[in-house]
């Protein structure tokens, strides 16, 4: 199933965010840097085990999942699928991620999960969401409201937690397991298929 529309608030060409016309395009401005914290975490020795980093989400955001919930999700998957996962970061979203609507990223062998608004509401602007977007989010949350001329996607904490555990996290884990020779488009297809396949196997999608 090809459906890379996921995890974000606005349409844009950005890693981890929603993509234009279903085609993902990775930014090339990020330079390779061996001192980069994600690079350092990704090169930890295997005996170090999986590392969790929890940042202060700020007053207006919260982390929907706990370390234990992510570990429980991993236990449901084949061990080989998490072999190269070195760190999971519950991240405070940057201003840039907030403006682009980026909810999750993969950095080398790390999965970064941005905090979610305390309001549990995502503003989509003045235009109503397309049927394609609504269909994509329907299995996770299909509650939309128009207030003062703006459309909001309204979640419950339980829905957000399920979405993070069985879609965002699995999608990024799919990226870690994808073949290196994949094109940008195939990378998104592979990761999305991985997430959807395992969500169904785990009884989260029907």
User: What global pTM score does this model have?
Assistant: 0.80
Candidate from 26-30, 67-71, 134-138, 167-171 with smallest mean pLDDT: 26-30
Residue 29: both structure tokens together:
């401005």
Per-residue HEC secondary structure of 68-102 comes to HHHHHHHHCCCHHHHCCCCEEEEECCCHHHHHHCC
> Residue 129: pLDDT above 70?
yes
Which DSSP string corresponds to 111-162? EEEE-EETT-EEEEESSPPPHHHHHHHTTT---EEEETTEEEEE--HHHHHH
How many CA atoms does the CB half-sphere of 118 hold within 13 Å? Answer: 6
- Structure confidence by residue, pLDDT tens digits, 35-74: 588 888 888 888 788 999 999 999 999 999 999 999 999 9
Q: Report the pLDDT averaged over residues 71-93.
A: 95
């Amino acid at each position: 199933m090809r459906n890379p529309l996921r995890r974000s608030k606005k349409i844009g060409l950005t890693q981890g965010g929603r993509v234009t016309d279903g085609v993902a395009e990775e930014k090339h401005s990020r330079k390779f840097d061996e001192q980069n914290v994600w690079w350092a975490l990704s090169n930890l020795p295997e005996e170090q085990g999986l590392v969790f980093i929890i940042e202060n989400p700020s007053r207006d955001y919260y982390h929907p999942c706990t370390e234990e919930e992510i570990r429980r999700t991993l236990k449901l998957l084949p061990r080989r699928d998490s072999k190269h996962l070195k760190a999971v970061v519950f991240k405070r979203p940057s201003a840039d991620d907030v403006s682009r609507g980026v909810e999750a990223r993969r950095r080398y062998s790390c999965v970064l999960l941005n905090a979610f608004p305390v309001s549990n509401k995502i503003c989509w602007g003045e235009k109503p969401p397309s049927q394609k977007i609504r269909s994509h989010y329907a299995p996770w949350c299909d509650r939309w409201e128009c207030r003062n001329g703006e459309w909001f996607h309204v979640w419950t904490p339980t829905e957000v937690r399920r979405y993070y555990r069985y879609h965002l996290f699995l999608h990024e884990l799919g990226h870690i397991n994808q073949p290196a020779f994949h094109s940008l488009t195939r990378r998104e297809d592979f990761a999305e298929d991985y997430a959807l396949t395992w969500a169904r196997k785990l009884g989260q999608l029907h």
